[in-house]
């Protein structure tokens, strides 16, 4: 089962959801705003990606953070991602416990979800 972790009003997420729908790819939507995220899930992701890759440093939430609050290591990043889920790069798609997509790239989606 594919799980798409994101927030619904993000433009990148909207593009990814449209692409997945157009290609008949089923997924369960995990809404960070309603469901949050737990430490165990983030720690599992960190076995596959670095905290820098998981952090959306181009987003408004990150840019508004004072420099003193920006993490400099995984421990700080985990705490920030739990507190402010908008700093997690999105969408993140996980299949059978493995991150198969981070962000939206049509070519990568074609390769990953080819049927």
The pLDDT tens digits for 38-78 are 999 999 999 999 999 999 999 999 999 999 999 999 999 99
* Residue 115 pLDDT: 58
Q: Is 104 a catalytic residue?
A: no
The single residue listed with the structure tokens 């939206």 is 104
Residue 97 sits in a domain whose CATH number is: 3.40.30.10
* Residue 102 pLDDT: 97
Count of domains forming the chain: 1
Q: What average pLDDT score do residues 103-113 get? A: 96
Contact 3, 99 (CB under 8 A): no
Instruction: Say how far apart CA 75 and CA 16 lie, in whole Å.
Output: 29
Nearest one of 89, 97, 115, 104 to 25, comparing CA atoms: 115
Q: With 0.85 as the threshold, say if the pTM is over it.
A: yes
Candidates 4, 5, 6, 10; catalytic one:
10
pLDDT at 3 over 90: yes
Domain range for 26 is 2-112
Residue 114 pLDDT level (bands cut at 50, 70, 90): confident
């Amino acid at each position: 089962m594919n799980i798409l972790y994101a927030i619904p009003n993000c433009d990148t997420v909207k593009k990814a959801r449209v692409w997945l729908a157009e290609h008949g790819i089923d997924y369960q939507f995990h809404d960070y705003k309603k469901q949050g995220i737990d430490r165990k899930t983030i720690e599992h992701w960190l076995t596959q990606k670095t905290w820098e890759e998981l952090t959306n440093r181009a987003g408004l939430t990150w840019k508004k953070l004072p420099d003193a609050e920006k993490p400099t290591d995984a421990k700080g990043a985990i705490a920030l991602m739990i507190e402010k889920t908008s700093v997690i790069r999105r969408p993140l798609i996980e299949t059978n416990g493995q991150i198969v997509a981070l962000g939206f790239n049509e070519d990568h989606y074609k390769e990953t979800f080819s049927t």
